[in-house]
Structure 1
Amino acid sequence: MSIEQYMPDFALEKAYDVTVEGLRKHKIKVVFVDLDNTLIAWNNPDGTPEMRQWLHDLRDAGIPVVVVSNNKYERVKRAVEQFGIDFEAFALKPFTFGINRALKRFDVQPQEVVMIGDQLMTDIRAAKRAGLKSVLVKPLIQTDSINTQINRWRERRMMKRIKAERGGIDYKREM
């Protein structure tokens, strides 16, 4: 298993560090973002003022934000409807099913999209498979739902390999 499949194009402290300027610089037209621990803390469905400002800034710039989540439809709908953003639920990351549905729905090419997520094993791997640019962010909180805890164990093993082969992942404040 090559670490290339898990190496993000960018590593940022948080999703909200992805700016309109950074997206334009990299010719990104649409942002796909994971839900739990990336856009919102998995246990805080209301989000933060910073998150709401980020969505507002991207919307004002004409850059659609689409949540691409492995969660069930009802869970994702309940989480994002208050923010007025689109979503693809049951995305089955690390496979590309949900990403491909979103690409088709928004009629965009993979090189025009960035996927932001907090997990190498699902978000970054799926973005790589689909040909999208990827942004790895630190989880918003240090606890995970039970489903994610298994992936975190696998992720820690991959991070050790990345550290050994590449010196680790350097988190920055902009793309």
Structure 2
Amino acid sequence: MNKKETVSEKVFKRFYGISGVLDEYKRGEINRIGNNAFIILFFYSLLSNFIATLFATRFLEITLWTLIVSNLILVVFVLGGYVILAVGNLNLTVEEVEVDKVLKTRKQVIKKGVRQGLSFGIGMHLLTALTTVVSEGESIREGLFSFPHIISSLLAGLFFGVTMTVVMLNRVKKIEE
């Protein structure tokens, strides 16, 4: 009996990099990893907000920038790194494929990497154009059709697509029967 995936399952699988079926074991491990990250983030936010409240009356700008940078460092690097390492150590991202389906799976992975690279490049280009329009006061046309922005977005998309393809290809493992 095939059960249709819910939106939350799709989000879990996308966020944690899981391909294939999201079984009870994987769901339990994801919940454990997410709970650990939440506990760290909860206590950090309590402490950082308390410290920021203490210093905000005298050093408002320095406090704001310190809070922004420390939040980025903790969330992106520390918690992101923890999640990546924990999921990788538990082999939740490994996609086990039978020997006769390896070639087909690798082609699918390459197509997925190309799509990810294209979407990343387009997203980077739109964000760069928006940033240029807001910060430098250029028109939207100048921001969208600037040759250096187009080149940098293409290179960023290419690099991201190649990197993601290599990562996803390394996750495909053959099952010997």
Normalising by structure 1, we get a TM-score of 0.20
Question: More relative contact order in 1 or in 2 (CA 8 Å, sep 6+)?
Answer: 1
Structure with max Cα Rg: 2
